[in-house]
Amino acid sequence: MKELSLHLLDLIENSIEAGAKNIFIEINKNKEKTVLRIVDDGKGIPEDVLRDITNPFTTTRRTRKVGLGISLFNEVITNCGGKLNIKSKVGEGTELISEFPSNHIDLPPWGNLADTIYALIVTHPEINFNFKIKTEKGSFEISTEDIKSKLGGDNSFFDPEVIRFIKSYLNQNLGGIGI
Amino acid sequence: MKKLTLEELKKIKEKAQSDLQARSPEGKDKIVVHMGTCGIAAGARETLLAILDEIEKRNLQNVVVTQAGCIGLCEYEPLISVQKVGGPKVLYKHVTPEKARKIIAQHVINGQIVTEDVLSTE
């Protein structure tokens, strides 16, 4: 994958597959290092799977025998001198924390983070996402609970006007903080 | 330019309230974009964005887009399925953003399945 924002999309898809209803995503980036944290309340990862989680031949899926998402991300991050840590409890949820140098030569660019957030929010109205992004240029926060409450608690907010709004909102507010 | 705030969403809601009530997801055409690792690596996010863009530009009120995971057909990714109300569920393979725009115009709007890109129909 060419962009960190695609890895992020992929990691969050794991939380969705795990049945999470609330997903909290935090990105904290300064000149030296970036910390990414994803916390979900999905079904959690059993201990034996967790021990071997960065192995590409570890997967819970039944459609094929490889699970590439976490192993790909781990590969990219460790090549840059970063680290990945996953804590999980069956029945409670999973917390993923990754720390890596912000400007390592082998680190893919963040790419279009606004597109990743937009893609997740508008196609998963049933999930509460909370994104908190902080860089040296500023910070940005969006929660789908806010969007839902502004829409009067409407759970099916898929509508051309609403998605147009969310897209512009993300591009305008996220564009300035430089990630 | 003044930045958008979430408060402005309220206005959209008020404007659209009457027709929001009239619509329910059951009576809508459904597009599913597969977003497993394989799909994302093959460009599924860009495909999804093209679909959303067409819906927004053409103001398609009767379509709902959701996501699903990998279905084990990784070599055909990006995969999307289109099901029009009362119609078959059509699975499309190798859906680039350009193909996605064509599928919206030809299948979703005009009801003509784009046969050359179909992987299966159920």
The alpha-carbon gap from A28 to the nearest alpha carbon of chain B, in Å, equals: 23
> Cα–Cα distance between A94 and A87 in angstroms, integer?
6
CA distances from B56 to A23, A129, B23, B24, B65 (A): 26, 22, 17, 18, 12
The residue of chain A nearest to residue B14, with distances taken between CA atoms, is A151
Q: Cα(B21)–Cα(B28) distance, rounded to whole angstroms?
A: 13
Average pLDDT for A105-123: 95
Query: Number of CB pairs < 8 Å for A and B?
Result: 109
Amino acid at B43: G
Contact status of A61 with chain B (Cβ, < 8 Å): yes
Chain A residues whose CB is inside 8 A of the B38 CB are 68
Of B55, B66, B74, the CB nearest to A163: B55
**pLDDT, tens digit, for every residue of B2-61?**
778 888 888 877 776 655 555 555 689 999 999 999 999 999 999 999 999 999 999 998
Out of A150, A158, A168, whose CB is closest to B65? A158
Beta-bridge partner residues of A40: A23, A94
Is A1 touching B (CB cutoff 8 A)?
yes
**What's the pLDDT at B13?**
76
pLDDT for position B1: 59
Q: Tell me the C-alpha distance between A77 and A98, whole Å.
A: 8
Could you tell me the pLDDT band of residue B70, with boundaries at 50, 70 and 90? confident
**Is A140 within 8 Å of A171 (Cβ atoms)?**
no
The string over A152-178, giving b where at least 16 C-beta atoms fall within 10 Å of a residue's C-beta and e elsewhere, is eebeebbbbbbbbbbbebbeebbeebe
Hey, are the CB atoms on B60 and A13 less than 8 Å from each other? no
pLDDT of residue B82: 98
Question: What's the whole-number average pLDDT of chain B?
Answer: 90
What is the pLDDT at residue A158? 83
Judged by CB atoms closer than 8 Å, whether chains meet at A13 and B35 is answered as yes
Do B72 and A119 make contact, defined as CB atoms within 8 angstroms? no
Interchain CB distance below 8 Å, B6 and A169: yes
CA–CA dist A67, A115 (Å, integer): 24
State the residue for tokens 């009239």: B22
Q: Search chain B and give the residue with CA nearest A113.
A: B45
pLDDT at A65 over 80: no
Per-residue pLDDT, B10: 81
Residue B35 distance to chain A (closest CA, Å):
7
Taking CB atoms and an 8 Å limit, are B66 and A123 in contact across chains? yes
Taking CB atoms within 8 Å and a gap of at least 24, the contacts of A148-151 are A150/B6, A150/B7, A150/B9, A150/B10, A150/B13, A151/B9, A151/B10, A151/B13
